[in-house]
Amino acid sequence: MIGLTSNQLAVLNNDISSLDRTDVAIFKHPTNQQTYLHLIAAKRTYNLLRRNGDPQDVATAKSLIQLGPAAVHLRDHHDHTPLHTALVHGAVDIAAALLHATTVMTT
């Protein structure tokens, strides 16, 4: 996980206390254009021995969505939204939270 910022490492550790709405809404990593939601959605890849998602990861994803709901629609350098990333990495529980967020936002 070379090249991660301190905030990204905090997100991976389910600590988003140092983030504010602006951080979550506009942050994109300069290299891969991933948001914090992309990062937490892909976290399962870093935990290959864990078959089921971590409930703390889902809680972190939901908190990130509340802090910066527009980030749900941001795309990375592969043109993937956090939902795409969650599904590619098998994070079905986080994908469900992202789907719920987009449904709530569009109604």
pLDDT digits (tens, 9 = 90+) for 72-105: 999 999 999 999 999 988 888 899 999 998 887 6
The token pair at 17 is: 């206390």
pTM for the structure as a whole: 0.78
Tell me, rounded to whole angstroms, the distance of Cα 75 from its chain centroid: 11
Neighbours of 51 (CB within 10 A): 8
Contacts of 3 (CB under 8 A, 6+ apart): 29, 31
Residue 28 contacts residue 78 (beta carbons within 8 Å): no
Average pLDDT, the chain: 82
Sign of the CA dihedral running 25, 13, 88, 4:
positive
pLDDT higher for 90 or 1?
A: 90
Looking at residue 3, its pLDDT comes to 74
